[in-house]
Structure 1
Amino acid sequence: MYKKLAIQTIIYSIGFIFPKIVNYAFLKFFTVSFKKEEFSLYTDMYALSFMVIGFLSFGLENTYFRFLYKKNYNKEIVFSTGVIIQLLISSFFLITSIKLIKYIAYIAGYQDHTEYFFMFFLIIFFDTICILPMAWLRVNDKPLQYSIISVINILIQSFLIIYLFFCYDNIYVYGEKTFFIFKWVSSFTDKIGYIFFANMISSLGNLFLILPILFKEVTIKKFNKILAINMLSYGIPIMLGTIAFSINENLDKILIKRCVSDEINGSYSACYKIATFMSLYIRIFKLGIEPFFFKKSKDSDAIYYYEEITYMFILFGLIFYVLICGNINIFMKFLIDKKYHVSISIIPIVMMGNLFLGVYTNLSIFYKILDKPIIGTYISLIGVLITFLFNIIFIITSTNNNSFMIPAWGTLISYGTMLIVLYIWGKKKFFKFRDKKIRNIIIHFLFALFIVFVIKKKMELSLFLQFLYLIIIFLLEKKRFMNLIK
């Protein structure tokens, strides 16, 4: 079982890591090519879109996983019902948003760039339609197909970005024979629009690649009204939690741009992207493990597996944290232009916050299995309140040059609080972590933080301290590592 799980996770990792590596390669190019103000605009548009996607997803991915393994539901009916719900919601959004595009652009402060919003409305529409078909590939143990689609998607986007930035002027040679869509692109007032256009086309390509799944597996006859109501009832609390997560992740960047300056937001957002290295690890783990969690929910030894896998997740996450923070100057040099380095100090803080979020995500499986996703909504609202508080403090003290540290600490404390509340709540209902295991986890956290703190003070000892850390961790957890290898 572990062997199959490991192989699938590795294949999923290829499909997820390769696009991210390409994006990080472009990060260097973007930070060199754009001013901080322009980069701020780039990150702001994606921050706004993530908020919308969180709403439109309606928690249907987790809902699909949950209802799939309930005894009284047919798999084909669950998938068809979920996809049709998603299609109706997304279509309503697309039609409504295009009709109101001028008002939306004005409210967001982009009245001169309605074309940005038109492209993002399409990106959001295409991406939300693809959520459940991509989940279907994971459920049906098709990691290779999942990864191929992801790789093709990023290759399309990369080719278009390179072409538009470096070869686009040659298009005028063709005169009137130029495709109308490229004439539309030529009307963009800046090159930021090229990135959005490339994303729109790649999202459309992704939709075409999953169409065979939709045509084969989805029919109106398989749509079940009662099931649809039950799925929405289950998914809406998850959707609210997803929106809360989007607020936690993006509110700081949205407010910094509008209440402080584009220049600070540009450097903050660029360094924040380095901190999201931790989300790479979390996402890879989630792709391979989450369907397994739901499958194991019916077994008598389910809790043991949840706890053991969560322990290993924390252990590897802390190793990842130490290695990234220990080599942060190298990553910054290769991935971000020097003018953005002013916010480098947020990276260890935000990375640890993201690790807390990853642990929270693993532990949150208990309320999904108990069919009480509303628990996640309540806890997420606590996190949002903390995020709001820290961002308000940040805006008030924004005259201080180092005030951008405040929203970074807000991220850490928000996710840390959510994790503690969830654990206390889950311990009463579900978890049975032994005191020894909890004590070991706390020791691992403190040890990792101590190593990173010493590295920051004594950078010349970085390699030695990282090596020492790995040796000590291996000796402490030798039995677990050997069992995992076997």
Structure 2
Amino acid sequence: MSDIKKLAGQTVWYGVPTIISRFLGYLMNMALPFLFIQPSKTADITQVYAIIPFLNILFTYGLETAYFRFSQEKEKHHLYNTLSVSLFLSTLVFTGLLFLSRHSIAEAASLAEHPEYLTWMCGIIFFDTLATLPFARLRQENRPRRYAFVRMSGIVVNLTIVLLFLGFLPGYVHRNPDSPLKIITNLNIGIGYYLIGNLLGSISTFLLLFRELKDLKWEFDGTLWKEVMKYSYPLIIVGLGGMINDMLSRLVYQHVVDLPPEQAKHELGIFANVYRLAVMITIMIQAFRMAAEPFFFNQSKQDGAQKSYARVMKFFVIACCFMFLLIGLYLDVLKWVITLKSKAWGEGMYIVPILAMGNIFLGIYYNLSIWYKLTGKNLYGAYITIGGAILTIVLNILLIPKFHYLGAAIATFTCYLVMMVSSYLLGQRFYPIPYARKKLLSYITLVALIVMGHRLVTYLYSPLWFSVLTGTIFLLAFTAFVGRIEQKDLVRIPYIGKWVTKLNGKS
């Protein structure tokens, strides 16, 4: 279990900045219903943040994963220098092209009224890309505390800007109409401060990585670079396909739904908001990936690696099941919070459990994907992702016009389910891992039934206090059930083990 403890500890450290970043971002997004009564006002920023992940994939072109892969067999500093030089030069070129194309992109993405959003986006992509390899180096060298500090510092800057310009200044100027700060509020940047805060946070993060950047030597090994690119180019396809699966519904929603433009923006704003309610599972996935990718590569040469991967999968699925229950069982609380100012923001809440379960499938797929990264069969990962992307495109085009948000949620759920099953079947063929398949399927099925049962109970009797009470009872029952089933492994984990022993001792 020592390998699991190590991974869990690193997941916490990598997860802390990820969790806080997502949580603070979630709080900022949760503030949107209090800052903007109409959901349509947030549609443009949703479009920008649907574009950024695609650009992140193109700009980094798989070098992060390739660095983990080749650092196992190549001289690390030489590898780091070669990849950093490549990334620096390509980032300059790509950012220049992006900046020159920003007006065309604005027209295509229905952002013609705010071309400045694309300019700020260029800056965000530039600095985030240059920080990619320094962050990967921190992860590869097992320096999670340094990683957490730098990440958190950028988050603090981002949050400060947003709170200052959207939270504090408008109220201050309203109370002091003669204040010179009125000039700032007259700029009418509005929700654009989310992007400005993001840009300044990215710049701060880049500057704080100076220690990792100053060690860079300007050397480039063309032979090594070609070897790395042969490995990494399928990961570009994997990444782009993954972004299509994740972001396409929000990117195309207002273009395929058969509604007047303003109503389409209204629904997009609502859909983006309810999509964020699945953020806890996404947080879990991202925190896990930060620690797991270098862990998997480092473990690959050890005896019994496959058994370690199977144990990791088990605990990962259990953690995701708890996240799913926290979302599904307390959905009424989330709805109550976001509708305090406007009831319109509560529309579409019924699709949240569907999206959350789809994200569990996505997390399992990421866990399963280690087989093609370890065996060098990245093209199989590309094929799976391309298949998922095609399925996503077809289902969104067919279902969104007819079912609106529900159609988009079904498309997400179906795509990730198919990708998960495909990766499992291929993985067991090329790199067999003894996953506890029946047990994991039972856990996932059980939490789905629990949430459906809770929704049925609260449909029959709907006071908020009753929803919270019954949800808590269901959550505690599942906790006790897992504690009993997994007692043998859980008692060996610090802190958790003592609690499990006491719980089962009393029962």
The 8 Å contact of residues 25 and 335 in structure 1, kept in 2 or not, is answered as: no
The equivalences for 1:158-177 within 5 A come to 158-165=159-166, 166-167=168-169
**Could you tell me how far 1:115 is from its partner in structure 2?**
1.0
* 2:370 aligned partner: 365
Q: Please say if 1:208 is aligned against 2:207.
A: yes
Matched AA of 2:18: F
Distance in 2 of aligned mates of 1:416 and 1:101 = 35
Distance in 1 of aligned mates of 2:407 and 2:153 = 39
* 1:348 aligned partner: 353
Distance in 1 of aligned mates of 2:207 and 2:366 = 31
Normalised to the residue count of structure 1, the TM-score between the two structures is: 0.92
Matched AA of 2:17: G
* 1:133 aligned partner: 134
Bigger mean CA deviation after superposition, 265-274 or 332-341: 332-341
| Length, aligned pairs only | 470
Q: Deviations over 1:102-126 (max 9, x none)?
A: 2222222222322111100110111
Return closer, same or farther for 1:336/1:247 CA change in 2, 3 Å cut-off: farther
**Could you tell me how far 1:188 is from its partner in structure 2?**
4.9
* 1:308 aligned partner: 311
Unaligned runs of 5+ in 2: 258-263, 459-465, 498-507
| Equivalent position to 1:483, from 492, 504, 507 | 492
* 1:380 aligned partner: 385
Unaligned runs of 5+ in 1: none
Bigger mean CA deviation after superposition, 350-359 or 461-470: 461-470
The equivalences for 1:14-413 within 5 A come to 14-34=16-36, 35-70=38-73, 73-165=74-166, 166-167=168-169, 188-216=187-215, 218-221=216-219, 223-260=220-257, 261-334=264-337, 338-397=343-402, 402-413=403-414
Matched AA of 1:423: Y
**Could you tell me how far 1:386 is from its partner in structure 2?**
1.3
Q: Deviations over 1:407-435 (max 9, x none)?
A: 1011111011001111111111112426x
Return closer, same or farther for 1:149/1:432 CA change in 2, 3 Å cut-off: closer
Matched AA of 1:362: N
**Could you tell me how far 1:262 is from its partner in structure 2?**
0.4
Distance in 1 of aligned mates of 2:430 and 2:490 = 30
Q: Deviations over 1:168-217 (max 9, x none)?
A: 78699897xx9xxx98x77854402121111111111111111221111x
**Could you tell me how far 1:329 is from its partner in structure 2?**
1.5
Matched AA of 1:446: T
Q: Secondary structure at the match of 1:159?
A: helix
Return closer, same or farther for 1:244/1:336 CA change in 2, 3 Å cut-off: farther
Distance in 1 of aligned mates of 2:445 and 2:160 = 44
Q: Secondary structure at the match of 1:484?
A: coil
Return closer, same or farther for 1:405/1:212 CA change in 2, 3 Å cut-off: same
The equivalences for 1:441-456 within 5 A come to 441-456=440-455
Matched AA of 1:239: I
Matched AA of 2:97: T
Bigger mean CA deviation after superposition, 323-332 or 192-201: 323-332
The 8 Å contact of residues 153 and 202 in structure 1, kept in 2 or not, is answered as: yes
Cα-Cα RMSD? 2.2
Return closer, same or farther for 1:386/1:11 CA change in 2, 3 Å cut-off: same
**Could you tell me how far 1:404 is from its partner in structure 2?**
1.4
**Could you tell me how far 1:336 is from its partner in structure 2?**
6.2
Return closer, same or farther for 1:410/1:93 CA change in 2, 3 Å cut-off: same
**Could you tell me how far 1:21 is from its partner in structure 2?**
2.0
The 8 Å contact of residues 36 and 264 in structure 1, kept in 2 or not, is answered as: yes
**Could you tell me how far 1:484 is from its partner in structure 2?**
3.4
Q: Secondary structure at the match of 1:483?
A: coil
**Could you tell me how far 1:396 is from its partner in structure 2?**
3.6
Q: Secondary structure at the match of 1:110?
A: coil
* 2:260 aligned partner: none
Return closer, same or farther for 1:306/1:194 CA change in 2, 3 Å cut-off: same
The 8 Å contact of residues 352 and 412 in structure 1, kept in 2 or not, is answered as: yes
Q: Deviations over 1:406-464 (max 9, x none)?
A: 11011111011001111111111112426xx2221221121111111101111343222
Distance in 2 of aligned mates of 1:354 and 1:297 = 26
The 8 Å contact of residues 278 and 327 in structure 2, kept in 1 or not, is answered as: no
